Amino acid sequence: MTAEILSTHTPALFQQAVRRAAELLRAGEVVALPTETVYGLAANALDENAVAKIFEIKGRPAHNPIIVHVAGNEMAKRCVQNFSTAAEKFSKSFWPGPLTLVLPRAETIPDNVTAGGATVGVRWPSHPFIQAVIRECSFPLAAPSANLSNQISPTNAAHVRAQLGGKIPLIVDGGQSQVGIESTVLDLTVSPPRILRPGMIHAESLAAVAGEISNFKFQISNSALRSPGLLEKHYSPKAKLVVLVWQNDTDLQSQIRNSKFETRNCFVIAHTKIPAGFPAENVSVIPHDAEAFARALYAELHRCDAAGAKLIVVEALPESPEWSGIADRLRRAAA
């Protein structure tokens, strides 16, 4: 199989791509679609056989549940048993957008979507293309990131094609993902609610909204088992990745030289102290801004992998809340 790639940059192309994607999804096929966080590998969330294909294509372990994507709160409510007051509040503030709410599942959601569990993760993505496809289908879409299991998530159609182009019938090109890292996953089935996976909607933004709910406090999960996305060694490039702080070029060079790592074909991703002593193509500069950094990070990691990097050195990030989701992904990539 070779994936057809459809672009969406004119209204006519957009409509054609919506119709083609919906047609395949109705037929129980799996297609790659753009979302604002990362590209998703989508199937009809109510069709157990279609969802089974996602696990097979990705090589995903059966114990890892899949997020269900909806277009609107009404559809979200049909996926869960009880859309709580807290769910109303968070959805009102952050949907459509990069927040997944874990809630008690409805019976209509197949077992393989929830990995046999009693909860389901639901998200209303803001990307207009996936919204249009969900509305056209009028069923929710189960969609993990459109990469092979344990690889870096794709933030454009070319990334998807490189990993899955031979395994799926359609990749829709909706441009570069605007958020760039996966959604924040918030478990509302436990008290207090728990952030299972940090993202660009960070704990303080959630707390600001939750503050209006009495006695609302957060815990950030440290238990890997509640959400397999929290397993160490996830989101990994092929190269060894290290996060370093350096004063200047000499300092960076000597840290690399003195490290125990393979230093041939070393790439540097920097935001503040830009190294000069490397070939230009081995240095990526991303602005010192959390949103810009998140948007560009995975594309830079994909680029390093494609160039055969052995070592990727990333300049350490600030410790403020806006950077926490990105820091989490770097920690995993370095694990």
Closest residue to ligand TXA in the complex (CB): 229
Q: Please, which residue, 126 or 263, has the CB nearer to ligand TXA? A: 126
254's CB contacts (< 8 A; 6+ apart) are: none
Q: Where are the beta strands (DSSP E) in 167-307?
A: 170-173, 184-187, 194-197, 219-220, 240-244, 266-270, 283-285
Select 96 or 144, whichever has its Cβ closest to ligand TXA: 144
Binding partner of residue 35 among ligand TXA, Mg ion, none, CB cut-off 5 to 8 Å per kind: ligand TXA
160 binds, among ligand TXA, Mg ion, none (CB under 5 to 8 A by kind): none
Nearer to Mg ion, 145 or 284 (CB): 145
Our CB check for Mg ion shows the closer of 144 and 275 to be 144
The CB-nearest residue to Mg ion is 145
- Closest C-alpha among 140, 202, 152, 206 to residue 177: 152
In whole angstroms, how close is the CB of 233 to ligand TXA at the nearest point?
Answer: 13
SS3 content of the chain, % helix, strand, coil (to 5): 35, 20, 45
Task: Return residues touching ligand TXA (CB under 6 A).
Answer: 35, 37-38, 40, 64-67, 98, 100, 102, 114, 117, 119-121, 123, 125, 143-145, 182-183, 185, 196-197, 227-229
Q: In what order do the strands lie in the sheet with 184-187?
A: 4-7, 170-173, 31-33, 40-44, 141-142, 68-69, 119-123, 99-104, 184-187, 194-197, 219-220
35 touches Mg ion (CB under 5 A): no
CB of 203 to Mg ion, least distance (A): 21
Among candidate residues 161, 151, 188, 175, the one with its CA nearest the CA of residue 59: 151
DSSP, residue by residue, 249-281: HHHHHHHHHHSSS--TTEEEEESSS---SS-GG
- Dihedral, CA atoms, 69, 72, 75, 76, nearest 10 degrees? 60
Query: Least CB distance from residue 116 to ligand TXA, whole Å?
Result: 10
Q: Say which entry of Mg ion, ligand TXA, none residue 185 contacts (CB below 5 to 8 A, set by partner kind).
A: ligand TXA
Minimum distance between the CB of residue 87 and ligand TXA, rounded to whole angstroms? 14
Residue 210 binding: pick among Mg ion, ligand TXA, none (C-beta 5-8 Å cut-off by kind): none
CB-wise, 77 or 123, nearer to ligand TXA? Answer: 123
Kindly give, in sequence order, each residue whose CB lies less than 8 Å from that of residue 120, ignoring residues fewer than 6 positions away: 65, 68, 79, 80, 102, 103, 104, 105, 106, 109, 113, 114
- How many other C-beta atoms lie within 10 A of the C-beta of residue 26? 15
Site string for Mg ion, 127-166 (x = CB under 5 A): ------------------x---------------------
CB-wise, 121 or 198, nearer to ligand TXA? 121
Instruction: Closer to ligand TXA by CB, 183 or 324: give it.
Output: 183
Residues making contact with Mg ion (CB under 5 A): 145
